[in-house]
Each structure stands twice: as C-alpha cells, then as structure tokens.
C-alpha cells in the first residue's frame, strides 16, 4: 500500500478499531497496513483516542506486553442515550400497535437494525467493564439485540432454544415456571455451547415476571457458569413482583389505558 | 463543541458514516456536529471517501437535492473475502464438529459475531446495489447473519416464524414442502411485517434442497412482494438438485467422508 499521511491513516485506524470492539489489535497490524513507523501510529492512536473520547463514541485502551496492543470499547453520550430512549417511548405509544388481546406489536422495533444497534450500544456500554464470556438470550425476538450486545462486547452469542435439534449434539434441557402464566416450560442448550466456569450476561426483549431470566440462571448452573447481569429493552411493570432483582432496562411499560393509549416511559433502571 | 482540526474531524465523520450504512446523512449534521464550514466538511468527506475506497472498506455516494447528503455503502476487498472464506472452511473441517447422526455442529459459527459480521459484509456487498426494502430470514440459526445483512443494507429485518404468536396480531401462514425430508411444514408472518409491493432478500445459514427459500418466495407472494436475491452461508451439495436457481453462498459442503472428515470448500457461487 502506498504511504498515507496522518489524515488518511486515522480514517483507516478508526474503521479497523470500531469494527473490532473489545479485541486487542497489535500495533504491527497498523504499521503493516499503513506502511508507517510505530511512532507515527502511536501518535495517530492518540488523536483517534482523544476524538472518540471527547465525542463519547468510545475509548481506546492500551494493553502492554507481548500479546499487547490497543482495544476499542464502545460508549454513548448521556444526551444521545436519553434522546434515543425518549424516541423509543414515542414509537411505542402509537395506538396502532395495540393488537387484539391488548398486546403491543413491537416486532418491527425488535427487528429494526437502526434501533437495535443503539439499544445494544446502551446495554453493552453498561456491561463493558465486566469480564464476560458469553451473551445469552432465548429465541426469538431478543436475538438481534443480544447479537448486537455480544458483538460490542467482543464475545460469543448463545441462543437458548425452546426445543431440541438433532444438529446440536448432546443438549441440556431444564424445566422452569413462567412467572406470569405459571406454566411449565422447557429450555434447551447444546452441551458444546458454553464452557464450564463461564461468566454470562442475559439479554432479552421483554421482561414480565422474570421467569425466563430465573430459568437462565438455573440453566447456567448446569454449565457450572454464572450470570453477571441482565439487560432488557422493555420492562413490563404491570407485573411488579419480579423473580430476579438486578437487571437494567431501557423502557418501562405500564399497560394500555382505557382509551387504548400505551403507557410507557424511560426506565428508572437505565444506568 | 470546540473546533476540531481536519485530523480530528475525519475520525468523527468516519465513525458516523460507517455506523449508518446506506442512510443519507445531510451535510448539516457534520457542519453542526463539528462546528465547521460546509467547504471544510466537503473536503473532509473527499479524504474519507478516498481512503475507504482505496482500502476497499466502502464507498461514499453523494445524493444531491433538498433531501440530499452523503451515504456510506459497505465493501470488502477480494483478498479479505477469500482469506475469510478459507478460514471458515478450516473451522468447519474440524472433526470434533461431527455429532451423532453425521450432522455438523455449526451453531458456534452462526452465533460468533466476528464471523457473522464478515459473512454478512460479504453478502451485503453483493446485494448493495439492489433497491431492497427488507431482509427476510426464518428462525433461528440464520437470524444473526440476516440481521447483519439488513443493518449493512440499512433496511428492516423480517423473521418468519414456525409458529404463530398472540403478540403478532393477524398473521399469514403458508404450508410448504421441505425439499429434503418431503415433510409439510408451516411458516407464518405478521400481516404488519411487510408492506405490499416490497422487494426482499432472503438470507439463511444453510441451504439443502431450497424448500425454505421456495416457501419464502410463495409467502412473499401473499404480501404482493418480490424476492430479489438469496444468500446463504453454507450450501449443502449432497442435495444437488435445488428448488431455487439463483442464490449465492460462501461455502460448499459435500458431506462427511468415511474417516469422519468434513468435506468443505469455498463456494463457486460467491461473487
């Protein structure tokens, strides 16, 4: 590659770093890619670090030693976070979302990459200083959000299933009681999916009583692994007594009033 | 925000553009964010465009008119694409993947954000010049890949389900015949999920006979919508007669030989 000047190098460095959150990138990658001296790259990195930090777009950490390098960690400003959560509340308030049975249709939100990217960024920024091995979710609606959080934390996504598949090899299945409907349900996970002694985050779209989250805690025990945190997009406060205590959420839902309006506001559990 | 110099502005511009693939961003966003003149921002954008282009990291298009601005489109170099696909083949060849019934365990690959991000980038780069409204997939394993493609194309993800849920409102269900097992299966989609007259891409993890892809084509007809392209990660050539013709894949699988080795190679259908 032809020699680039500083203006040009910082563009490539920004792209490479932000494409690889939480991954240690050796400085040789940059010196080779940009055909530049280590001292130049170090100065470039200082500029990138300063700009990303001042714009609340993330931090760059230096890891010393033979396996060292630099590592990008995501971030979001308080202002952007608040504005996004308010916009999300407005979206959810739309009365056209109410479907028969007084359910709120929110699939379009859960599968909208622009929304999920920001929601995932907020959750990942909250969990970014924990040492996490896996982000766990249960199929189906929370998968894009959990994937986004896993990507930003630089770890593997694990999807717990309702059924077992022949392509998964040996699976571990547990029964759990759904907190709201009191029905017994099953969740399954391939034995190969999680290594013993791992630390996990559970991410889901919606929390009612927290039965699923409690089920995940118990399932992880079968893998001798631990749940460090729980993050959901929407917390349904119509079920006030939760089976789990520590979790974060972006939005609180208090049901649908008699005029058919959705009662929703920014969560008190967002950090 | 305090005034930034060019070195600093191009970092922020790169981050904002690459975070918003296929979205038109008005130049005022940049002039306001960076407190800079339009002429300076235009020159910044020329530098960003040149570097991203020369590194095959994407292109920046200018859209003129009142609703105009600039738009980032993703890209990947041939060299990176080939290297990634070869690495993916190596990963799949691991004999430890073979589970009873001669299935290949590949869930860890489908849920690995680093892998899925690159696979999604390759598929999205192939489809990036089509005018697409939705990326469609069927639950569960292909969801992260389809999400990544949808994000890079800047469109909504649609997940077709095997069952119907009360929270989805009115749904459309069709029956289709799985091409390999010849069993009748059902797929369902909320009426609200796709607008009439839409153009879609179908993305999935695995193609056997293509029964699911054909089912999606028929389901989309119920929404008066059209399938423009199909992209899968792995094409199983043990089922050579496919029910669909035009699709792209990254990897070709020819089964497991008698020694238990997985026979896999880069696909001839990658573009």
Check residue B157 and give its pLDDT: 98
pLDDT in tens, A12-35: 999 999 999 999 999 999 999 999
Q: Is the pLDDT of residue B135 over 90?
A: yes
Q: Which two tokens stand for residue B233?
A: 């990660």
Q: How far apart are CA B71 and CA B17, in angstroms?
A: 7
**Residue B179, pLDDT above cutoff 80:** no
Residues facing residue B104 across a β-bridge: B98
CATH number, residue B28: 1.10.10.10
Let me know whether B111 and B245 are in one domain: yes
Q: Which residue of B has its CA nearest to A98?
A: B169
Residue B188 and residue B166: Cα distance in Å, rounded?
12
A51, A140, A167 member nearest B8 (Cβ): A51
What are the tens digits of pLDDT across the range A77-118? 999 999 999 999 999 999 899 988 888 999 999 999 999 999
Give how far B170 is from chain A: nearest CA, Å: 8
pLDDT for res B268: 92
Nearest to B105 among A23, A106, A168 (CB): A168
Instruction: Give the closest of B15, B140, B151 to A117, CB-based.
Output: B151
Q: What token pair was written down for B125?
A: 């780069």
Q: Return the SS3 of B240.
A: coil
Place of tokens 């992209």: B231
Pair B134, B183 in one domain? yes
> Quick one: how far is CA B221 from the chain centroid?
22
Ranking A131-145, B116-130, B228-242, B251-265 by mean pLDDT, the lowest is B251-265
Query: Alpha-carbon distance B232 to B269, whole Å?
Result: 10
Given a cut of 80, whether residue B97 has pLDDT beyond it is yes
Q: For all residues of chain B together, what is the average pLDDT?
A: 95
As a whole number of angstroms, the distance between CA A211 and CA A215 comes to 6
The first and second tokens of residue A270, run together, are 């967002």
Judge whether A4 is closer than 8 Å to chain B, CB to CB.
yes
Q: Among residues B73, B92, B111, which one ends one of the domains?
A: B73
Q: Is residue A37 part of a domain?
A: yes
Distances B2 to A83, B5, B36 between C-alpha atoms, Å: 22, 10, 10
Q: Within 13 Å of residue A166, how many CA atoms lie on the same side as its CB? A: 4
Given B18, B45, B73, the domain boundary residue is B73
Would you tell me which residues 205-244 of chain B have a C-beta closer than 8 angstroms to some C-beta of chain A? none
Q: Does A104 lie in the same domain as A48?
A: no
Specify the pLDDT at position A260.
Answer: 80
Per the model's pLDDT, the better-predicted residue between A105 and B258 turns out to be A105
The contacts of residue B82 (CB under 8 Å, 6+ apart) are: B266
Q: Under an 8 A CB cutoff, do A8 and B51 touch?
A: yes
Whole-angstrom Cα distance, residue A189 to residue A160? 5
Q: Using CA atoms in the order B46, B48, B53, B54, what is the torsion angle rounded to 10 degrees?
A: 100
* Same structural domain, B89 and B48: no
Domain that holds residue A124: 78-266
**Partners of residue A47 in chain B, C-beta under 8 Å:** 7-8, 11
The 10s digit of each residue's pLDDT in B28-68 is: 999 999 999 999 999 999 999 999 999 999 999 999 988 89
Chains A and B: how many Cβ contacts under 8 Å? 170
Instruction: Assess whether pLDDT exceeds 90 at residue B101.
Output: no
B38 touches chain A (CB under 8 A): no
Residue B271: inside a domain, yes or no? no
**B156·A47 Cβ contact <8 A:** no
Nearest CB to A8 within list B47, B116, B166: B47
Residue A46 contacts B where some CB pair is shorter than 8 Å: no
Q: What does the pLDDT average to over B151-171? A: 93
Q: What percent of chain A has pLDDT over 90?
A: 85
Encoded tokens for A193 = 């999916």
Question: Which pLDDT tens digit goes with each residue over A131-150?
Answer: 999 999 999 999 999 999 99
- CB proximity A190 to B under 8 Å: yes
Please list, residue by residue across B77-96, b when 16 or more beta carbons sit within 10 angstroms of its beta carbon and e when fewer do: eeebbeebbeebbebbeeee
A227 and A100 in a common domain:
yes
Lowest mean pLDDT, pick from A253-267, B9-23, B73-87: A253-267
Domain stops at, among B49, B73, B97: B73
Contact B15 A103 (CB under 8 A): no
Mean pLDDT (chain A) is 95
- CATH classification of the domain holding A253: 3.40.50.2020
| Among B94, B100, B113, the residue to mutate for chain A (most A Cβ within 10 A) | B113
pLDDT tier at A1, thresholds 50, 70, 90: low
Q: Largest Cα–Cα distance of chain B, in whole Å?
A: 68
Residue A271 domain-assigned? no
């Amino acid at each position: 590659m032809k020699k680039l000047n500083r203006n040009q190098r910082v563009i490539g460095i920004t792209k490479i770093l932000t494409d690889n959150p939480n991954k240690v990138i050796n400085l040789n990658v940059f010196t080779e890619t940009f055909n530049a001296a280590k001292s130049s790259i170090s100065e470039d990195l200082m500029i990138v670090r300063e700009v990303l930090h001042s714009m609340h777009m993330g931090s760059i950490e230096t890891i010393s030693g033979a396996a060292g390098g630099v590592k990008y960690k995501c971030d979001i400003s308080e202002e952007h976070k608040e504005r996004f959560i308010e916009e999300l509340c407005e979206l959810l308030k739309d009365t056209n979302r109410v479907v028969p049975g007084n359910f709120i249709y929110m699939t379009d939100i859960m599968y909208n990459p622009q929304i999920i990217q920001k929601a995932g960024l907020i959750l990942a920024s909250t969990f970014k200083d924990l040492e996490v091995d896996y982000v766990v979710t249960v199929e189906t609606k929370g998968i894009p959000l959990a994937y986004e959080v896993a990507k930003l934390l630089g770890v593997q996504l694990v999807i717990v299933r309702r059924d077992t598949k022949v392509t998964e090899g040996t699976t571990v299945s547990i029964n759990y009681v759904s907190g709201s409907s009191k029905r017994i349900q099953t969740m399954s996970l391939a034995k190969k999916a999680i290594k013993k002694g791992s630390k996990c985050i559970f991410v889901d779209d919606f929390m009612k009583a927290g039965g699923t989250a409690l089920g995940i805690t118990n399932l992880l025990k079968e893998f001798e692994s631990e749940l460090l945190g729980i993050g959901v997009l929407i917390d349904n406060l119509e079920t006030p007594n939760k089976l789990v205590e520590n979790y974060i959420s972006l939005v609180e839902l208090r049901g649908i009033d008699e005029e058919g309006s959705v009662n929703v506001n920014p969560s008190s559990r967002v950090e």
